Amino acid sequence: MRKSIATVSLSGSLTEKLTAAARAGFDGVEIFENDLLASPLSPEEIRARAADLGLTIDLYQPMRDVEALPEEEFARGLRRAERKFDVMRRLGTDTLLVCSNVSPHAVDDDGLAAEQLSRLAALAQESGMRIAYEALAWGRHVSTYDHAWRIVERAGHPALGLCLDSFHILSRGSDPAGTADIPGEKIFFLQLADAPLMAMDVLQWSRHYRCFPGQGGFDIAGLVRLVLATGYDGPLSLEIFNDVFRQAEAGSTAVDALRSLIALEESAGISPLPAPAVPTGFAFAEIAAADPLPVTSLLEGLGFRRTGRHTGKPVDLWAQGDARILVNHGTGTRGDGPFLTAIGLETPEPRSAARRAESLLAPVLPRRRVDHDVPLDAVAAPDGTELFFCSTRRPGHPDWTADFASGTDFASGPDATAGPDVTAVADFTAVADEPQELSPAGPLTGVDHVALTQPWHHFDEAVLFHRAVLGLRPHESVDLADPYGLFRSRAMTGAGGTPRLVLNLAPAPAPDPRTRTQHIALTTDDITAAARRVRAAGAELLKIPANYYEDLDARYEFAPGTLDTYRELGILYDRDEHGGEFHHCYTATVGRVFFEIVQRTGGYRGYGAANAHVRLAAQRR
């Protein structure tokens, strides 16, 4: 279907909005009147600009407080409408959105409303225009779509129809099933907006918290199915009032917006996409570090071994159990030290995953970076993290590990002197020769989760991206108290519970990019042994205050000595209501990256949110 967006949904000048909508791939726009009024371009110039960009102008909006008024006031509205029809003719659009009256002067008289709307429609018709009447959820007398439909039906004018808006219908809890009774040709326009489910004043909710379909709690797909069943064949158009989108760069918001409609078309059964190839786990995480030593020292301390080197790039493979970290010391020119640049996701069908991602507007990355690379499908997430779709050592698929020579070659590598001394890790089994050892034994067994703090403005976009593109399932959003503001945190998981990806949002405004930390949580079956191993290797664990352990002691009963050990090592503890337990500790932070070691028992599904404030305060010291 044709896809449109209201200019009010995007930031910037009208020109910037049109350009962003066109570049993202929208077919048309609704022109929000204030955007026109504030623009130095004439309606003719706006029309030409839109046409040059391949955009149609599908709606002019809104006209307010025009119907169900005393005659003198209505006459002024008609005069105003006449001028607007002229503007619309010059813009090259033919549909005017009229919102139900919110004025205290409005009369509670459906007959009067119908009669006046009919006269307005007749005037519109003379100019080749038509009127789409919409019930605002806070309209003075008309606030539901079925009421608006009764008035339109009663008016019975061919140039008068309805505009349906998902927010106004669903925010009031109206049953959208009644839309099935409206003839499709009388639905002139369909505006779509989602919103988080909040108990708040509907006007404030609408003006500040709307979001793109799939980012809130409404069943937009269900509504769209109903409306399409009527025969409606106009555009699916987004009209989003959102304080964050008002500030965000219009280009990325427009991509986020169009992605939401493409995903919506899939879930409403309008246009299929390549089926999701939901990741099952992490193949690797890649850290870029101009100076790799701080990271590799940490990895050594954690018990990782350098088991391979990329044949064409200065990238080392460090492994332990099923956890694999690539340390790339050929990039990392940023001043803020090591940071996580890429994640490898174990994916049953990498090609299919990439095709779906591309359909959903994910930027596709080159399959080969250097000659002879194994060709890997990869896309960029909204925060810039590169996502590689991997099928590690599965027959019939390219295998990323083939790019890595085994560890025996390290001594002759280009900067072996810069890296840590592999032989220092003497506690573990020797490096295998061919193929290089992918899962050397150690106290850590794999990756539990990866947590990425998102740039301000892109949190909801990131959640939708990972849900729609990868098929991960978002869990409840939680607030975490940092000494200098609230973090928002939302976990997303694959079908079988893995991989676990945690998206965080730093308190705004957060001008300091160092607060955009990233961490890799590693699993162990024995938190105490793992933590002791780290300490024995000379690495530090985050120091946790004694007061925390006194509180643990007040809340739970532990085996004798356990809390002393936990206090000594800085191990945190949480227990869920089903008795599931979570034991975890943290390394120091290098650049933006730190590591967590976690042990889950008894089916614990969380991430230790109850301890986050203690950890965040300790990290601030």
Residues that bind a copy of itself (CB under 8 A): 11-13, 16, 33-34, 36-43, 79-80, 82-84, 87, 198-201, 204, 207, 243, 246-247, 456, 479, 481, 483-486, 507-511, 543, 545-548, 550-551, 553-555, 613-614, 616-618, 620-621
User: CB 374 → a copy of itself: shortest distance, Å?
Assistant: 41
DSSP string, 131-147: EEEE--TT-SS--SHHH
Q: Is 375 left (phi over 0), alpha (psi -120 to 50) or beta?
A: beta
Q: 130-134 and 160-165 as β-strands: parallel, antiparallel, unpaired?
A: parallel
Q: Phi and psi (nearest 5°) for 605?
A: -110, -10
C-beta closer to a copy of itself: residue 154 or 488: 488
Amino acid identity, position 320:
Q
Q: Where are the alpha helices (DSSP H) in 488-610?
A: 527-536, 546-555, 562-569
Contact 368, 384 (CB under 8 A): no
Provide the token pair at 566: 């936990």
Which of 83, 578 has the CB closer to a copy of itself? 83
CB of 621 to a copy of itself, least distance (A): 7
Q: DSSP secondary structure string, 227-253?
A: HHHTT--S-EEE---BHHHHHS-HHHH
Helix (H, G, I), strand (E, B) or coil at 425: coil
Cross-strand partners of 209: 242
Q: Which amino acid is at 163?
A: C
| Residue for token pair 């640049």 | 341
Work out how close the CB of 105 gets to a copy of itself at its nearest, in angstroms, rounded to a whole number.
10
CB of 69 to a copy of itself, least distance (A): 14
Between 12 and 382, CB nearer to a copy of itself: 12
Q: What pairing do the DSSP bridges indicate for beta strands 3-6 and 593-601? A: unpaired
Residue placing its CB nearer to a copy of itself in the complex, 486 or 588: 486
> Which of 480/590 has CB closer to a copy of itself?
480
Sign of CA dihedral 64, 69, 70, 74: positive
Q: Closest CB to a copy of itself among 233 and 243? A: 243
- Nearest approach, Cβ of 124 to a copy of itself (angstroms)? 15
Smallest separation, CB 508 to a copy of itself (Å): 5
Q: Quick one: 43 or 214, whose CB is closer to a copy of itself? A: 43
Cβ neighbours of residue 589 under 8 Å, at least 6 residues apart?
Answer: 517, 619
Secondary structure letter of residue 400 according to DSSP: G
Report the nearest approach of a copy of itself to the CB of residue 308 (Å). 41
Residue 548 or 594: the one with the smaller Cβ distance to a copy of itself is 548
Q: Whole-number minimum distance, CB 204 to a copy of itself, in Å?
A: 8
